[in-house]
Chain A
Amino acid sequence: MMTPISEDKVLNAGTKVRIRSIMPPGHVRAPSYLRGKSGVIERAIAPFPNPEQLAYGLPAKNQMLYRVRFSAAEIWGKAAEKPDDVIEAEVYAHWIDELDTVDAT
């Protein structure tokens, strides 16, 4: 089982990450086309109240929001129009695994 990055750690730009490949029901803000895909942190933005809790009127914990940069090739494979075009998206910390610390399972 992979664990998300710890809450008090802020990832620096350039850190290699993978978006968690989970499919929870309900209002989630990580688009499914990015799940399981690897990219690099473009920047750490700021902590925001977790919208996945806000959406249900629950007390929302602050979660660090990152911009993650992916190559078109990583996301679309051979279907990419141009492999080194780029997609950048905002992803919350609890959706991110730091690649270097991910175990081999």
Chain B
Amino acid sequence: MPHDHHDHLSPSGHPYRKDDDTPISYWQSMEIAVRELLVEKEITTFEEISAQIEKMDARSPAIGAAVVARAWIDPEFKARLLENGSTATADLGFDVGPMHLIALENTADTHNIVVCTLCSCYPRNLLGLPPDWYKSRAYRSRTVKEPRKVLSEFGVTLPQSTQIRVHDSTADMRYVVIPARPIGSEALDEAELAKLVTRDSMIGTGLALTPNA
């Protein structure tokens, strides 16, 4: 499941994207027209658009990992994060923008996993751009119906005694999973802990890494 996309390989073995030789679509021309009009009318500039794209590209799961690591070491922060994900994250100095965030805590008997069945809603301010598989029909349709099978394909097998909670991100909220703090991480500092927090562990398709594994 995580690698169900099909890379094209050149004859010399390099992955490449096929040339997009199809005619421009209605919505593509609409986007170009609106963008050029906004610039022509001096509402924005091409520089501003590029800067915004760079800002979006600069976001990465490291932001979410820092939030999770803080929650692991600071119970008072974790309580605030569970109470209101957006304000708690903003308090750490991260730009949450208009994002409404709900944090979900994995415990000894509960495992949370996030999906958006309707489209591909994702906490981009916290995790950057979503992986391709998150947007695939397979992940979106299967995760609500057979989460255990999907998890097993990510290498995560949970006991029957663990309740799985699938969160369908259908509307205005965005979700981040606080993975369980791994055994053996007791002596680590905040920065070392953050390195154990993977993107997938914050989507719920993975677990936090075990130290020195």
> CB within 8 Å of B: which residues of A?
29-31, 33, 45-46, 48, 51, 65, 67, 75-76, 79, 81-82, 84-92
Contacts and interface: CB of A to CB of B under 8 A. Distances in A.
Contacts of A86: 163-166
A79 B166 CA distance: 16
A98 to B, nearest CB: 19
16 contacts: A31-B118, A31-B170, A45-B172, A45-B173, A48-B171, A51-B171, A67-B173, A76-B145, A81-B149, A82-B164, A85-B148, A85-B163, A85-B164, A86-B163, A88-B168, A90-B172
Q: Is the interface of B mostly helix, strand, loop or mixed?
A: mixed
B171 A82 contact: no
Contacts of B146: 81
Given A65-B173, A79-B145, 12 more contacts: A45-B100, A45-B173, A81-B149, A82-B148, A82-B160, A86-B165, A86-B166, A87-B144, A88-B165, A88-B168, A90-B169, A90-B170
B113 to A, nearest CB: 10
B117 A31 contact: yes
Interface residues of B, number: 21
A46, A48, A82, most chain B CB atoms within 10 A: A82
Interface of B: 100, 117-118, 144-149, 160, 163-173
Given A45-B173, A82-B160, A89 B168 contact: yes
A105 to B, nearest CB: 28
Nearest to A91: B170
Contacts of A30: 170
Nearest to B146: A81
A90 B119 CA distance: 14
